[in-house]
Amino acid sequence: MTPSTQPPASVPFLEALRFWLKLGFISFGGPAGQIAIMHSELVERRRWISEKRFLHALNYCMLLPGPEAQQLATYIGWLMHRTWGGIVAGALFVLPSLVILIALSWVYLRFGDVPVVAGLFYGIKPAVTAIVLHAAHRIGTRALKNGWMWGIAAAAFVAIFAGGVPFPAIVMAAALVGWFGARQWPAAFALGGGHGEAKQGDGPAVIDDHTPTPPHARFSRAHLLKVLVAGLGLWGGVMAVLVAAQGWDSTLAQMGWFFTKAALLTFGGAYAVLPYVYQGAVEHHQWLSGPQMIDGLALGESTPGPLIMVVAFVGFVGGWLHQALGPEALFLGAALAATVVTFFTFLPSFLFILAGGPVVEATHGRLGFTAPLSAITAAVVGVILNLALFFAYHVLWPQGFSGRFDAVSALIAAGAAVALFRFKVGVIPLLGGCALIGLVATLA
């Protein structure tokens, strides 16, 4: 086909809204799949944004903590339709997943002991262990490019596995190593690759390569201050309501504070922050158990939206078990907890785009800014490997090392690993197949 020589007409806000809502329901496949869907729809089919502008936005989002696919949607929505465009795009990327996870979490808690449901999760848990191990491999092949990066990954693994060092401390240490290392050995700490070169598109786009930056996307100290004040005010207002209603030590207030910190540590994707969520939600606050965390990750993998939405499951289970609104309102308390957790997890992502976009774009490619991120990503590989071992322990020795070894779960995990590493099977088919195997194994 011959590329069109005319750009599409400007996109009405309602048309964009309909697309972002649709995207929220079809965004399966993790960040890679979600970014591929947006590229196919926005660059190739609709031509709302050019290839170069799309990749420029994506590379920016990759430098930030938080779910890059959701931030990319927010960025493009903001670029096209100002602040409300970004808010709508980012929110609709998340809301369908929140509603679905609230429903599935309720089914899990109410009917999780039913033999059919228990059998399905029996097969899913080993698959999740293989998925996390595959994530460590996938990130490692991209991040561990030299001996320095391998050393950082190994040190991070030892620190969290043997020393129990908190995840934030590992992130800070890695960032410092990257910052100092860039001054002594800059080639070793340079970010590599990116997302490839832009290619010829299918014709001019609404936002094309040479389209001037719209006024609302240009840097302005007044606008930066306005967005920061509004965002921090919104955060403080919601937190004040939670504290005033139930106190600082209440489940909802502690969830808000904990997941605010978690949102600032999600360098390297959702798997990077899961060890921190485990440390806080399972070990410290005891909002849920380790096996429940594995089940929640399985639900997060099987629903649309970013994988970090597993935090909604954590919030729902914690709100239910800790009776956030009292024993007479278990579902409402749990649903409110899931909503609170989602709000505090994603609020920083909106602020990074709406306030920091024009600022951080100017730093793209500067080694002093990117080198700490290279080191953090390397450390994340070691942390995720530790998470995989934690999941394997709970799946293969459900009663601890003193109990029996679950050979069936080991076979399912090994089969899932082969399917992922050798045959590149997708996550949804893998979970479905393993769930059926688990059901047959428990009911046979």
- Average pLDDT on 300-321 reads 90
Residue with more model confidence, 56 or 411: 411
Region of 286 on the Ramachandran plot (φ > 0 left; ψ -120 to 50 alpha; else beta): left
State the pLDDT at residue 1: 43
For residue 7, CA distances in Å to 75, 105, 200, 202, 214 come to 21, 45, 14, 10, 17
The predicted-structure confidence for 100-129, as pLDDT tens digits, reads as follows 999 999 999 998 777 887 888 899 889 888
For residue 49, the SS3 value is strand
Length of the chain, in residues: 444
Give the pLDDT mean for 64-81. Answer: 89
Whether 8 shows a pLDDT value over 80: the answer reads: no
Which of 300, 274, 218 shows the shortest CA–CA distance to 388? 274
Residue 334 Cα distances to 177, 255, 339, 369, angstroms = 41, 12, 9, 40
- Look at residue 200 and tell me whether its pLDDT is greater than 70: no
Decide if pLDDT at 7 tops 90: no
Cβ-proximal residues to 390 (8 Å cutoff; 6+ apart), any chain: 275, 278, 290
Tell me the CA distances in angstroms from 88 to 14, 69, 293, 373, one per residue in order: 11, 14, 30, 29
Q: Structure pTM?
A: 0.76
- Model confidence pLDDT, tens digit, residues 286-306: 999 988 998 898 888 778 888
Q: Which of 80-94, 230-244, 383-397 has the lowest mean pLDDT?
A: 383-397
Q: Which of 4-8, 9-13, 24-28 has the highest mean pLDDT?
A: 9-13
Where is pLDDT greater, at 77 or 266? Answer: 77
Residue 38: pLDDT over 80: yes
Q: What is the pLDDT of residue 428?
A: 76
- Of 70-79, 127-136, 210-219, 414-423, give the lowest mean pLDDT range: 210-219
How high is the pLDDT of residue 362? 53
For residue 224, pLDDT beyond 50: yes
pLDDT at 195 over 90: no
249/187: higher pLDDT: 249
Q: Is it the case that residue 29 has pLDDT exceeding 70?
A: no
Share of the chain above pLDDT 90, in %: 44
Angle between helix 427-443 and 115-143 (nearest 10): 140
Higher-confidence position of 231 and 175? 231
φ/ψ region of 72 (left if φ > 0, alpha if ψ in -120 to 50, else beta) reads alpha
**pLDDT above 50 for 24:** yes
Range in 54-63, 82-91, 104-113, 341-350 the model is least confident about: 54-63
pLDDT of residue 374: 79
**Any idea what the Cα angle at residue 102 is, between residues 101 and 107, rounded to 5°?**
90
pLDDT at 305: 84
Please name which of 329, 343, 330 lies closest in space to residue 238, comparing C-alpha atoms.
343
